[in-house]
């Protein structure tokens, strides 16, 4: 199952015992770091609207400047304000290039650095705009039907490939225009029309005309996935991903192909049948690199494979790292740059053609969010430190330490925060999960505190030591916070990640409980005041924990919580895809019994924990049907429960007002029931 990751990464901690004869010295060493980040106010819910979100950093071809998307919150008007900004790297001076254009995203430099392309929303979806770097207004370059999903400059800068729907067909006339029935495929239950196929187009910048390159039998996007686009260095070919259908549930039926731009013929890159993507040409055009799960097994971590140059079958370039590859890029000389989640943080690895590995240092950056590298090896990136929200950083070379270029979130970083450390513990089956512990800012190890278990989604994600506004909100209320990385998390290698296969809840639940017990053993947790919460797969695990271990919890919040695997398989947008937790149809053979045994629904009658349920009414990823089942089960058994629904589509709350409301209710519910159990 792929649900919603709450953060990418996470770590380990162990406390040293104190020798009583040296207690005063040890006390100072122990307590000093527990409010490392400033002497001012604690982080509060209202600070949610002060965060400046940075995304899509793109370095110029000459490495002297960069562009990025800058997003702030207009809470009064319930909207986010997005701007395209540029920064001069030597002087760190920023300027706004495009102000408050709706849906602005995906800036890309032309190869000569003279033009910036970007996408922005319009009546017919996102369209491509071109902005002269030396001055002038951005001009709309496309009128693509249904909007543009992705685009890529050609190496000579004279063409742009993009993905969009086919030309619209003439509207029917007469009575037939009222016939809107459609054939159901691998779609979610909220669909009310068949999805349209998307194709590869090319825009000629001299003639300003667009032409379609792929035929009606080919689609390069689904409701969940969009093909990568990679031009060969000579501009003759485009590497792309083809899907079996435009239905979202067929997103795993993906295969890499090469498109001949001149004659529009295509050929496959490998003999694999599915699970490939994205795919990129090397700078010398000899090789292609593409993402693929280890040995083609869906439950395994994603690796980078290489093909071409007479190599068959493809070889894995990242096997020795034994970490899930989140992003990758070719460098000169056949080297690859890989972004992985490792233990408690992000790491960048450079892999040589011979397999040698070297790490590109990230300095204080813990969570790497996005990055780009110039041909000379200079890099810009966005990411967070442990006590600072995301900023823009610069690396003059891959081997250099990052230099922070911006201070948009300095006011938040200056606020007092609780110390964050990593904890590793023993679990079942010989596994050693880890997680992040956040302490109250004025933590005293001689006292006892409530514990909140805050479970990440995914499940293929992980919590890290990067900045966490949510964990700090909880810690500011005097709670210890544990963010466990249960089996299935992507930070400890293939054996740990794939251990969730056919063990969707019992095994991960054992990991969570053993983490709770490890913290209790430290002596500062009030065992009568332990809460558990999470969103998406974190909600699934929350529902499992309060049913499987009903006597542990004083309060729970289950957000967008899957309850019944058959609902997930039959109704949501992922549906038939074979994925991590249960890797086959529940309707084959005796699988149904196992699916129920691994679903929270099997333990609903045992729940005794006061529970808040929150969901979107038109969530295609985790259907609200599970929340209704949980609500009725708790109400029927006399368990305190409240169910809050938020109208509209989406898996998470995408507007500021509702996002705030989710957390007001979340923290308020926990506070009410933890306070009720105060000694």
In sequence order, which residues have a C-beta less than 8 Å from that of residue 77 and are 6 or more positions away? none
Q: Report the CATH number at residue 101.
A: 2.120.10.60
Distance of CA 199 to the CA centre of its chain: 26
Residues 419, 402: one domain? Answer: no
Q: What is the DSSP letter of 44?
A: -
Q: Alpha-carbon Rg of the chain, whole angstroms? A: 25
Residue 558 covered by a domain: yes
**Distances from the Cα of 314 to the Cαs of 239, 292, 311, 348, in angstroms?**
16, 10, 6, 23
Asked if residue 616 and residue 577 are part of one domain, the reply reads: yes
What integer is the mean pLDDT of 200-210? 97
Q: Answer yes or no: is pLDDT of 82 > 70.
A: yes
- Residue 29, pLDDT > 90, answer no
| Residue 478 shares a structural domain with residue 607 | yes
Quick check: 14 pLDDT over 90?
no
- Regarding whether 511 and 396 lie in a shared domain, the answer is no
Pairing of strands 79-88, 403-404: unpaired
Q: What's the mean pLDDT in 481-494? A: 97
Give the residue from 275, 259, 280, 247 showing the smallest Cα distance to 213.
259
Q: Tell me, what's the pLDDT at 145? A: 86
- Asked whether residue 23 is domain-assigned, the answer is no
Q: Looking at 408, 427, 458, which one is the last position of a domain?
A: 408
Specify the pLDDT at position 170: 85
Over range 133-153, report the average pLDDT: 93
pLDDT of residue 36: 54
* Rounded Cα gap, residues 470 and 379, in angstroms: 30
Token couple for 173: 């006339």
Indicate whether 384 and 529 sit together in one domain: no
Q: Look at residue 18 in the predicted model and tell me its pLDDT.
A: 22
Mean pLDDT of the chain: 91
The pLDDT of 358-387, averaged and rounded, is 96
The pLDDT score that the predictor gives to residue 206 is 95
The answer, yes or no, to whether residue 445 has pLDDT greater than 70, is: yes
> Is 28 a residue whose pLDDT tops 70?
no
Question: Which residues touch 499 (CB under 8 Å, ≥6 apart)?
Answer: 429, 431, 487, 488, 507
Closest CA to 278 of 302, 309, 262: 302
pLDDT of residue 335: 96
Same domain flag for 404 and 472: no
Q: Specify the number of domains making up the chain.
A: 2
- Asked if the model's pLDDT at residue 317 lies above 70, the reply is yes
* Same-domain status, 625 and 579: yes
Other C-beta atoms lying within 10 Å of the C-beta of residue 416: 19
Residue 85 in domain: yes
The CATH number given to whatever domain includes residue 643 is: 3.40.50.1820
Q: How far apart are CA 412 and CA 579, in angstroms?
A: 38
> Does one domain contain both 393 and 425?
no
pLDDT digits (tens, 9 = 90+) for 508-556: 999 999 999 999 999 999 999 999 999 999 999 999 999 999 999 999 9
Q: Is residue 670 part of a domain?
A: yes
* Mean pLDDT to the nearest integer, 115-119: 98
pTM, entire model: 0.92
In a domain, 597, yes or no: yes
Same structural domain, 491 and 393: no
Res 545: pLDDT: 98
Which residues in 374-419 belong to E strands, given as ranges? 379-384, 391-395, 403-404
510 and 585 fall within a common domain = yes
Q: pLDDT at position 2, please?
A: 40
pLDDT band at 4 (very low <50, low <70, confident <90, very high): very low
Residues with Cβ < 8 Å from 654, sequence gap 6 or more? none
Spatial distance between the Cα atoms of 129 and 654, rounded to a whole number of angstroms: 25
220-242 tens-digit pLDDT: 999 999 999 999 999 999 999 99
* Residue 165 domain flag: no
Whether residue 629 sits in one domain with residue 594:
yes
| Average pLDDT of the segment spanning 282-305 | 93
Q: Are residues 568 and 637 in the same domain?
A: yes
Picking from 388, 408, 428, the residue at the C-terminal end of a domain is 408
67, two tokens: 């562009």
At 135, the pLDDT band (50, 70, 90 cuts) reads confident
Residue 337 within a domain? no
- Is residue 644 a contact partner of residue 624, using CB atoms and an 8 Å limit? no
Chain segment 398-422, per-residue pLDDT in tens: 999 999 999 999 999 999 999 999 9
Question: Is 483 a residue whose pLDDT tops 80?
Answer: yes
pLDDT at residue 26 is higher than 50: no
Q: What is the pLDDT of residue 31?
A: 35
Boundary-marking domain end, from 364, 388, 408: 408
The Cα 490–Cα 349 span in angstroms is 16
Lowest mean pLDDT among 134-138, 245-249, 371-375, 430-434: 134-138
How many CA atoms are closer than 13 Å to the CA of 153, on its beta-carbon side? 20
Task: With respect to residue 325, please indicate whether it lies within any of the assigned structural domains.
Answer: no
pLDDT in tens, 157-191: 999 999 999 988 888 899 999 999 999 999 999 99
pLDDT of residue 42: 94
| Host domain of residue 493 | 415-676
Determine contact, residues 654/626, Cβ cutoff 8 Å. no
């Amino acid at each position: 199952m792929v649900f919603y990751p709450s953060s990418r990464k996470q770590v380990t901690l162990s406390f040293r015992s104190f020798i009583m004869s040296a207690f005063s010295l040890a006390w100072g060493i122990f307590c000093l770091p527990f409010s490392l980040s400033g002497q001012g106010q604690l982080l509060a819910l209202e600070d949610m609207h002060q965060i400046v979100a940075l995304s899509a950093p793109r370095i110029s071809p000459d490495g002297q400047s960069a562009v990025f998307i800058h997003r702030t919150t207009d809470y009064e008007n319930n909207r986010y304000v997005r701007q395209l900004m540029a920064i001069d790297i030597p002087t760190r001076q920023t300027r706004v290039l495009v102000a408050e254009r709706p849906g602005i995203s995906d800036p890309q430099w032309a190869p000569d650095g003279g033009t910036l392309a970007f996408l922005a929303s319009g009546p017919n979806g996102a369209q491509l705009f071109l902005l002269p770097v030396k001055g002038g207004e951005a001009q709309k370059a496309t009128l693509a039907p249904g909007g543009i999903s992705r685009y890529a400059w050609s190496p000579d800068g004279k063409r742009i490939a993009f993905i969009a729907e086919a030309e619209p067909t003439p509207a029917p006339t007469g009575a037939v225009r009222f016939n809107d029935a459609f054939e159901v495929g691998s779609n979610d239950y909220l669909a009310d029309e068949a999805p349209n196929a998307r194709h590869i187009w090319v825009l000629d910048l001299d003639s300003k005309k667009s032409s379609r390159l792929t035929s009606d039998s080919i689609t390069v996007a689904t409701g969940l996935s969009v093909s990568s686009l990679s031009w060969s260095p000579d501009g003759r070919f485009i590497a792309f991903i083809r899907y079996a259908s435009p239905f979202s549930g067929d997103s795993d039926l993906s295969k890499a192909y090469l498109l001949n731009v001149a004659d529009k013929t295509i050929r496959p890159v490998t003999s694999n049948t599915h699970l490939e993507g994205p795919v990129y040409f090397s700078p010398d055009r000899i090789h292609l690199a593409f993402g693929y799960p280890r040995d083609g097994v869906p439950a395994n971590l994603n690796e980078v494979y290489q093909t071409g140059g007479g190599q068959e079958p493809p070889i894995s370039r990242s096997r020795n790292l034994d970490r899930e590859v989140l992003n990758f890029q070719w460098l000169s000389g056949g080297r690859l740059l890989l972004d992985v989640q490792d233990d408690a943080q992000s790491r960048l690895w450079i892999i040589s053609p011979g397999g040698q590995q070297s790490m590109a240092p990230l300095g204080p950056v813990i969570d790497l969010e996005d990055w780009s590298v110039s041909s000379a090896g200079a890099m810009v990136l966005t990411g967070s430190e442990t006590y600072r929200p995301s900023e823009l950083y610069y690396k003059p070379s891959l081997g250099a330490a990052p230099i922070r270029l911006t201070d948009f979130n300095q006011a938040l970083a200056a606020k007092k925060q609780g110390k964050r450390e990593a904890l590793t513990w023993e679990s079942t089956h010989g596994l050693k999960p880890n997680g992040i512990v956040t302490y109250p800012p004025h933590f005293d190890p001689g006292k006892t505190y409530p514990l909140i278990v805050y479970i990440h989604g995914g499940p293929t994600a992980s919590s890290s030591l990067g900045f966490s506004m949510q964990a700090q909100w909880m810690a500011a209320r005097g709670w210890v916070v544990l963010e466990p990385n249960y089996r299935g998390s992507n930070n400890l290698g293939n054996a740990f990640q794939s251990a969730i296969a056919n063990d969707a809840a019992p095994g991960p639940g054992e990991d969570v409980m053993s983490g709770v017990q490890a913290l209790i053993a430290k002596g500062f947790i009030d065992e009568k005041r332990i809460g558990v919460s999470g969103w998406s797969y974190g909600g699934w695990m929350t529902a499992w924990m309060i049913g499987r271990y009903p006597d542990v919890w004083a309060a729970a919040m289950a957000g967008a919580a899957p309850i019944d695997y058959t609902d997930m398989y039959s109704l949501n947008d992922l549906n038939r895809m074979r994925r991590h937790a249960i890797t086959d149809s529940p309707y084959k053979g005796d699988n149904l019994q196992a699916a129920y045994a691994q679903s929270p629904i099997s333990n609903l009658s045992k729940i005794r924990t006061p529970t808040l349920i929150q969901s979107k009414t038109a969530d295609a990823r985790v259907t609200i049907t599970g929340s209704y089942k949980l609500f009725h089960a708790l109400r029927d058994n006399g368990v305190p429960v409240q169910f809050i629904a938020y109208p509209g589509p989406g898996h998470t709350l995408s507007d500021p007002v509702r996002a705030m409301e989710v957390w007001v209710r979340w923290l308020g519910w926990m506070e009410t029931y933890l306070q009720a159990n105060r000694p």
